[in-house]
Structures are given as structure tokens and as C-alpha cells.
Amino acid sequence: MSRIVLRVVHVLQLLSIVVAIAAVLGAIWYAIDTPSRNAYECLNNMRQIDSAKESFSMVYKLTNVTVLTDANIRELADYIKGGWDAHKCPSGGTYDVGAIGQDVKCSIHGSLSELSKKLRK
């Protein structure tokens, strides 16, 4: 083979090694970063649910610690952009809406205020 062909083959081999290393590093970064991204997405969901609870309580003139019924919680979906289907914990947790004036809670990430403090650090 000519020297040019050998050099091209060598460069392509080196390039494939670099691409493989980049792919491995990307996969490692993704695996490490996914839990924090899930926590931030969960926090955002809980904030939107909390905001919907506040709006709902103003419309219906509900006071703090008023416990929401199942019917209230279903109706609360009208105050959340995308409804309940758009607001699921990315880690698979479930949300506890709680009473008016109380934090929304995730079964995996904890309460809205706890998660907010944890992610600020």
C-alpha cells in the first residue's frame, strides 16, 4: 500500500478511538447528572402544583389547612398547565398535594421546601 493510504487508515483509526472515548465519557456524565436533573424537574412540578393550589384556594375562598377532597384534586388539574399527566415525578415518585397552605410532597424527593433547600446548596 502507498504511504498516503496507510496514513489515512491510521488517522481513521485514531479518530474512531477518540469518538469511542467521547461516547464513554458522555454516558458516564449522563448517568451521574440524571438524578440531579430529575430532582430539578420534580421541584418544578411541585412548584407548579403549589401555584395551582394557591389559585384554586383563592377562587374557592379556601383557608389554610383546608383538606382537598378527591374531587378538588381532580379539579385542580384545570389550574395546572398540561394537567396531571404532564406533572409526574421523573424518578417515578407520586405527589401528595396536601392541604391548602401545606407543601406538596414527592414520595421520592420529599417536600417542596426541603427539596428547594437541598438543591440550593
Query: For the segment 17-58, what is each residue's pLDDT rounded down to a tens digit?
Result: 989 888 888 777 666 655 678 899 999 999 999 999 999 999
Give me 6's grid cell.
Answer: 496507510
Find the radius of gyration of the CA atoms of the chain.
24
At 88 the three-state DSSP class reads coil
Among 29-33, 35-39, 68-72, 73-77, the minimum mean pLDDT is found in 29-33
d(CA 49, CA 55): 10
Check residue 6 and give its pLDDT.
80
Residue 45 to residues 7, 27, 87: CA-CA distances in angstroms? 54, 26, 6
- Identify which of 66, 49, 48 has the alpha carbon closest to the alpha carbon of residue 57: 66
Q: What is the mean pLDDT of residues 11-20?
A: 89
At 95 the three-state DSSP class reads strand
Pairing of strands 95-96, 105-106: antiparallel
Give me 2's grid cell.
Answer: 502507498
* pLDDT over threshold 80, residue 90: yes
CA angle 53, 69, 115 (to 5 degrees): 45
Percent over 90 (pLDDT), the chain: 56
